Amino acid sequence: MAKKQNVKTLAAMPAYNEEKYIGSLILKARQYVDKVIVVDDGSTDCTAEVAGLAGATVIRHGENRGKGAAVQSILAEARKIAPDILVLLDADAQHSPDDIPALIKSVMDGHDLAIGSREEQANKTPYYRRIGQKILSFSTRAVSKASVVDSESGFRALSSKALNTLDLTENGFAIESEMITRAADNNLSITEVPITNIYTKDGSTINPFRHGIGVLARILVLVSERKPLFFFGVLGLILSVLGFLTGLRVINIFSATSVIPIGTALISMVLLTIGVLCIFTGIILHVLTRRTR
Ligand SMILES: Nc1nc2c(ncn2[C@@H]2O[C@H](COP(=O)(O)OP(=O)(O)OP(=O)(O)O)[C@@H](O)[C@H]2O)c(=O)[nH]1
Ligand SMILES: [Mg+2]
C-alpha cells in the first residue's frame, strides 16, 4: 500500500439546504483531496450554486430523496471516478475537513471502512442525542457483529475495495448502519478514528426523536431480515407470555365470579395466536434463509 504519491483521493458530501456552510467546507476539504463532489438532494436554497462556486462537482437530485439516496448517488458517481480512497462527510459543519488526513491514513494502513468516531468528545453531544446514538450503535453492533462504538457518524473513508463491494439500498439515515452491516457481511476491515465532534445550534435539519425512531425501525427491519429466528422468536415469545398471563387472569376472574370476561379472554387468545404465529414465522424464515445462504 505504499503508493502514497499517486493516491487518488475523493471527498464527497450529501447536502440538503446547506448553503450556509458548504462553501467553506469544500474549500477546506480541497486542501486534503484531489477532488470534491457534492450531491445536492433537492435543496430549495443555493446549496448547489455555492458548492459549484467553491470548486466542487455537483450532482443534483430533482427532488429531496433522503440522505441515504444521496450517499448512494455519491457511491455511483465515485465508482466512475475510481479513486483509491473516498471520504464521506456531512455538509452541515458537524464534521471538520481537517480530520480528513487521519481517515485517509487509516485506509492507507489497510482498512476498508474507517469511521470517524465522536466518542472521545462525546461530552459535546447534547445528552438526548447521545442516548439515541448509543441505542442505534448498540442495535447496529447486534445486527452486524461489527464492534463499532459510533455507528451513526456520517464521516467515513472507504477503500476502493469497499467502494466497489458495498451495495446499499437504504434511502434514509439508516444508510450508516446498513453500510457497516454490509461491510461486515463482506469481511471488510472496519475501524474507528477519533474526530472532532462539532454541534452547532442550527446543525440539525430534522427532529432528533423522529430521526432516531426512523433509523431504529430500519435497523429492526435489518434484524428481521438477517436474524428472523431471533427477531420473530423474541417477539413471539413476548406476545405468548403476555397472552398466557392474560389467560391466567381470565381463569382467576372466572374462578372468582363464574363469569367469563369476554374482552380479556379475546385479548389473551389474540396475543397467544399472534405469538405462536410469530415463532413459527421465525422458524420458517430461519430455515429458508439458511437454505439460500
Ligand atoms: N436531514 C436531511 N439531511 C440530508 C438529506 N439529504 C441529504 N442530507 C444531508 O445529510 C447530512 C446529515 O444530515 P443531518 O440532518 O445533519 O443528520 P445528522 O447529522 O445525522 O443529525 P443531526 O445531528 O440532526 O445533524 C447533511 O449534510 C445533510 O445536508 C435529507 O433528506 N434530510
Ligand atoms: Mg448533522
CA dist., res. 39 & res. 47, Å (int): 10
How many Å lie between the centroid of ligand 1 and the Cα of residue 47? 13
- Residue 123 and residue 95 share a domain: yes
- Indicate the residue among 179, 209, 226 that finishes a domain: 226
Give the model's confidence band at 1: pLDDT under 50 very low, under 70 low, under 90 confident, else very high. very low
Q: Give the cell for residue 59.
A: 450532482
pLDDT mean over 208-212: 74
pLDDT for position 293: 60
Enumerate the β-bridge partners of residue 12. 37, 88
Give the model's confidence band at 203: pLDDT under 50 very low, under 70 low, under 90 confident, else very high. low
User: Other C-beta atoms within 10 Å of 222: how many?
Assistant: 22
How many Å lie between the centroid of ligand 2 and the Cα of residue 236? 37
How many Å lie between the centroid of ligand 2 and the Cα of residue 204? 5
- Indicate the residue among 226, 241, 268 that finishes a domain: 226
The two beta strands, 156-159 and 113-117, are: antiparallel
- Residue 250 and residue 143 share a domain: no
Sheet-wide strand order for 156-159:
57-60, 35-40, 9-15, 85-88, 156-159, 113-117, 190-194
pLDDT mean over 241-247: 93
pLDDT mean over 173-177: 93
Q: Where are the alpha helices (DSSP H) in 192-261?
A: 208-226, 228-257
The string of pLDDT tens digits covering residues 12-26 is: 999 999 999 999 999
pLDDT > 90 in the chain, percent: 66
- Residue 178 and residue 255 share a domain: no
2, part of any domain: no
Query: On the CB side of 17, how many CA atoms lie within 13 Å of its CA?
Result: 10
Instruction: Among the bound ligands, name the one nearest to the CA of residue 38.
Output: 1
- Residue 174 and residue 149 share a domain: yes
Contact 149, 119 (CB under 8 A): yes
- Residue 159 and residue 86 share a domain: yes
- Residue 210 and residue 199 share a domain: yes
The string of pLDDT tens digits covering residues 94-128 is: 999 999 999 999 999 999 999 999 999 888 888 88
The string of pLDDT tens digits covering residues 21-54 is: 999 999 999 999 999 999 999 999 999 999 999 9
- Residue 202 and residue 235 share a domain: no
**Which protein residue's CA is at the shortest distance from atom 23 of ligand 1?**
204
63, part of any domain: yes
- Indicate the residue among 178, 210, 226 that finishes a domain: 226
Residue carrying the nine cell digits 462539532: 198
**Which protein residue's CA is at the shortest distance from atom 11 of ligand 1?**
90
Residue-range definition of the domain harbouring residue 157:
9-226
- Residue 184 and residue 121 share a domain: yes
CA dist., res. 182 & res. 189, Å (int): 11
Number of structural domains (the chain) is 2
- Residue 178 and residue 120 share a domain: yes
4, part of any domain: no
State the average pLDDT for the chain: 90
How many Å lie between the centroid of ligand 2 and the Cα of residue 292? 38
211, part of any domain: yes
Query: Which atom, in ligand 1's list, is nearest to the CA of 39?
Result: 7
* Best residue among 67, 195, 197 to mutate for probing ligand 1, ranked by most atoms within 8 Å of CB: 67
- Residue 112 and residue 232 share a domain: no
Question: The domain spanning residue 64 has which CATH number?
Answer: 3.90.550.10
Residue 205 pLDDT greater than 70, yes or no: no
Pocket of ligand 1 (CB under 6 A): 14-16, 18, 41, 64, 66-67, 70, 90-92, 94, 154, 173, 203-206, 208
- Residue 152 and residue 271 share a domain: no
- Highest mean pLDDT pick, 50-54, 118-122, 184-188, 258-262: 50-54
pLDDT for position 199: 77
Residue carrying the nine cell digits 455538509: 91
* Best residue among 92, 195, 197 to mutate for probing ligand 1, ranked by most atoms within 8 Å of CB: 92
269, part of any domain: yes
CA dist., res. 107 & res. 191, Å (int): 9
**Which protein residue's CA is at the shortest distance from atom 24 of ligand 1?**
204
187, part of any domain: yes
How many Å lie between the centroid of ligand 1 and the Cα of residue 16? 7
How many Å lie between the centroid of ligand 2 and the Cα of residue 203? 5
Contact 275, 240 (CB under 8 A): yes
3, part of any domain: no
CA dist., res. 122 & res. 133, Å (int): 10
pLDDT for position 290: 72
pLDDT mean over 253-271: 91
- In the chain the beta strands, taken as DSSP E runs, fall at 9-15, 35-40, 57-60, 85-88, 113-117, 156-159, 190-194
- Residue 103 and residue 60 share a domain: yes
How many Å lie between the centroid of ligand 2 and the Cα of residue 49? 21
pLDDT mean over 65-90: 97
User: Other C-beta atoms within 10 Å of 84: how many?
Assistant: 20
159, part of any domain: yes
**Which protein residue's CA is at the shortest distance from atom 25 of ligand 1?**
204
